[in-house]
Structures are given as structure tokens and as C-alpha cells.
Amino acid sequence: MLAGNKVIITVALNGGMQQDRDGAVVPKQPAEIGAAAARCYEAGAAMVHVHARDAHGKNSGDRRIYAEIIREIRARSPILIQTTNGIGVRRDPATGQFIWPTDAERLGLLNLDPRQDLFGIAGGSADFYNPEGGYPEEVPYVNSPALLKQTIKAVYEMGSALEYEVVEASSLHRLLRYANEGLFDRDRDNMWLLHGGGFGGA
């Protein structure tokens, strides 16, 4: 079927909201993530996509936790590391409503030490629905033009690569417009994720 072409496998280890269920154990702490990434590498994966969790297993944008995750992974295997661009939502303890991280929190993940190998960014906004993944109701997933532009510029200035998450067709139109405006070279090698899961088919 693949006519001898190589396949690059990316493993999304833990997500921002997923919890243990049905016998599946979700790695949450840095050492657990590092060990799971090593097993994925031994099984043939080339890249791992990770989210950080706090000590209670809740998603976190803490750069220190991300840095520790990167150290734990690299201590065990040479698998390529991509961190989330979304961080994930939190619940307001007073209202119970979902709160999305700010652009500033998300842009902070561009300045980790040690640095991840690869980056990602969603090309547009959409409503996210994934009961099994911790989103039992539709939640607006906002990706501002400013966040997208700043991420593209910063990542390419580092000499790294981006995975563009295409949540629906307008994402492609936006990215094409940015390329035509000179923000990035449309002919360069990029990674593309045509979203399913919580966004539905793209």
C-alpha cells in the first residue's frame, strides 16, 4: 500500500485532560512520560507529542514541568519531542466553567530550556468535543491570528519546523494568505495534521 515509502509515527502520549480508564494508564508526571516515550521509541515511533500535568494530574502550562519532561525523555531515548501548542483548559473553581490559557502562556512554550525539537500550532479556532478525552461538552478552542503569526515567525527564526493543525477549511485559506503575505514560504517542508477527534473530520 505504501509502495516502500517510509512512515513517520507520532505518538500523542497523554493529552491535557485524559485520565486513566478501562485499564489504560495515562502518563502524567515527567518520569512516567519519559519512560512511556522510550517504550514508544523502541516500538518504532519517531516523535512524541506531550502535554504537562501538575502534581495532581491536571494540565499545566508551567515551563519548568515541560523542561523536566524534555530532560526525562532525552535521558531515555533519542525520540523527537513536540510539545502541545494549546496547553489545555482549566476549570474555574468558583463557576466550574472552562478557562483557556492566554496567548502569553502558550507563547511561553516557545522559550523552554532545554528546548523541544518540533512545534505545532492550530491554524484556526473551532469548538472541541471529546467526552473520552475530558471534554464532555463543546468548548470553544480559540487560536488568535496574533498567536498564529507570532508562533510561525518565532519557530522559523529558530530554524525548527511546525506542524499545522487544520481544524477546518478556513485554516488552510488563512495559512495560504499568510504565506502570500510573506510570513512563511509555502514551498518549505511542513507537517500537517488534518484534524479528526474532538474537532471532527477536516
Do the domain assignments include residue 36? yes
Do the domain assignments include residue 179? yes
Do the domain assignments include residue 27? yes
The number of folded domains in the chain is 1
Do the domain assignments include residue 1? no
Pick from 10-19, 62-71, 193-202 the range whose average pLDDT is largest: 62-71
Pick from 46-50, 163-167, 196-200 the range whose average pLDDT is largest: 46-50
Identify the CATH number of the domain in which residue 117 sits: 3.20.20.70
pTM value is 0.89
Do the domain assignments include residue 187? yes
Residue with grid cell 531515548, as numbered in its chain: 77
> Residue 96, by phi and psi: left (phi above 0), alpha (psi -120 to 50) or beta?
left
Do the domain assignments include residue 121? yes
- Domain range for 185 is 10-199
Over 60: is that where the pLDDT of 199 sits? no
Looking at residue 76, what is its pLDDT? 99
Q: What percent of the chain has pLDDT over 70?
A: 94
Q: What mean pLDDT is reported for the chain?
A: 89
Looking at residue 2, what is its pLDDT? 61
Question: What residues contact residue 30 under an 8 Å CB cut-off, 6+ apart?
Answer: 65, 68, 69, 71, 72
Q: What percent of the chain has pLDDT over 90?
A: 60
